[in-house]
Chain A
């Protein structure tokens, strides 16, 4: 079967009832979608199918043949993070990161929905309500998605804190960097 993932067409050999999640992770080594509950309840496996967020653990391969699959790996242009990705970074919206891929894909669909419109907190909660996070308590995730919906990603993708050891990239040391 043929599967287009992040713009790349693959010839896939997994059996037709294999879940899209397992095809992505086990056959194609696209590992951003995570195997959480594996029954559609947690949202860690969410990817885009023809631009809409879907649970990859609930989709048999045969049902998505010919579709365009997008994962987190396909969001950034080289090293340029998407607005949602940058906002998640800027607002510290991830801790262990297991749920983050799913949340990011859900947020991308919301933030990029047509027609573009400012998104209130209730609408964000509704759109993300299928996603479970055990670490963050959700507050920073909601902040990040609200910021992204206002077009507020990080301006230059410079890290907020210096890297450990050696000179920070980009020259001038930031606050608290080793001398």
Chain B
């Protein structure tokens, strides 16, 4: 169990986006804390080295605006503020944990969530995949914009600044939830039609959300929902965790795909 003592960390509270970018630098040895709902337990319990910690929760990096037909969301925007966001993002945001967590957790943190070990994380990732999210980030080499798929495949060494998403023509979700006071998500399929094309992704089937490209190809070829759903496991092999077995997920995923596509119409 590594981790440096909490007292030894250099802590920078960024008061602006510029300060956050400067403090982040090239990201070496930096831990970013926005809402802290995922990162703080790792720091507190010394599962993560805290050498240089940059707090961006009060750096003016939250907010939702429109730019050229797309919605731009600041990385530090809370999930509570995304309750009424364009679907399927709104549904994903509303169904995370409880109101106290949602008013603290951020979309940037959710996107950058390290893969869950005992249970899935990053409930918003599938929505971002189907909404053609473009991620603006800072880090080595300066600012740049990348598709969300690339960010999810990368090692998380950049500072997310904001996320822009498309306005879909239609959207749908199909979810397996575990009963609780706030029934939490085991696995969810998000589907959207963007610029006439069907996009499908799943969160909670793998350590990070996955785009179901074989299903998309089937749908683009005119296959109906049930036929398309048969290809669900071509892009992901679900794994076991504390919430559900890989076997169960593999059984249920095609059902969710079929349901989401049927709703999408």
Are A and B genuine complex partners?
yes
Chain A residues packing against B (C-beta within 8 Å): 15-19, 38-40, 43, 46, 52-55, 57-60, 62-63, 65, 106, 125-131
What 12 additional pairs, Cβ within 8 angstroms, besides A17-B43, A63-B55, A63-B57? Answer: A15-B7, A17-B9, A17-B50, A53-B100, A59-B36, A60-B53, A62-B13, A63-B36, A125-B181, A128-B181, A130-B97, A130-B100
Taking the nearest CB of chain B, how far is it from the CB of A12, in angstroms? Answer: 13
Report the Cα distance A59→B39, complex, angstroms: 10
Question: Which residues from A are CB-within-8-Å of B182?
Answer: 126, 129-130
Q: How far is the CB of A177 from chain B (nearest CB, A)?
A: 39
Are B13's CB and A58's CB within 8 A? no
- Whether A54 contacts B41 by the Cβ 8 Å rule is no
CB pair B40 A19 closer than 8 Å: yes
Q: Which chain B residues in 181-202 approach chain A with CB under 8 Å?
A: 181-182
Chain A residues near B44: list those with CB within 8 A. 19, 38-39, 57
Q: Which residues of A contact B97 (CB under 8 A)?
A: 130
Asked if residues B98 and A130 are in contact (CB atoms below 8 Å), the reply is: yes
Q: Mark B7-47, 1 if CB is under 8 A from A, else 0.
A: 10101010000000000000000000101110011011100
CA distance A62 to B50 in the complex (A): 14
A58 touches B98 (CB 8 A): no
Is the CB of B99 closer than 8 A to any CB of chain A?
A: yes
Q: Chain B residues in contact with chain A, CB under 8 A?
A: 6-7, 9, 11, 13, 33, 35-37, 40-41, 43-45, 50, 53, 55, 57-58, 97-101, 103-104, 180-182
9 closest A-B pairs (Cβ-Cβ)?
A: A130-B98, A129-B181, A129-B182, A39-B41, A15-B7, A16-B11, A17-B6, A129-B98, A58-B40
Query: A40 with B37: in contact, given A54-B104, A125-B181 (CB under 8 Å)?
Result: yes
A63 to B181, CA, bound (A): 29
Most chain B CB within 10 A, of A43, A60, A129, is at A60
**Chain B residues with CB below 8 A from A58, complex form:** 35-37, 40-41, 104
A18 to B5, alpha carbons, bound, how many Å? 10
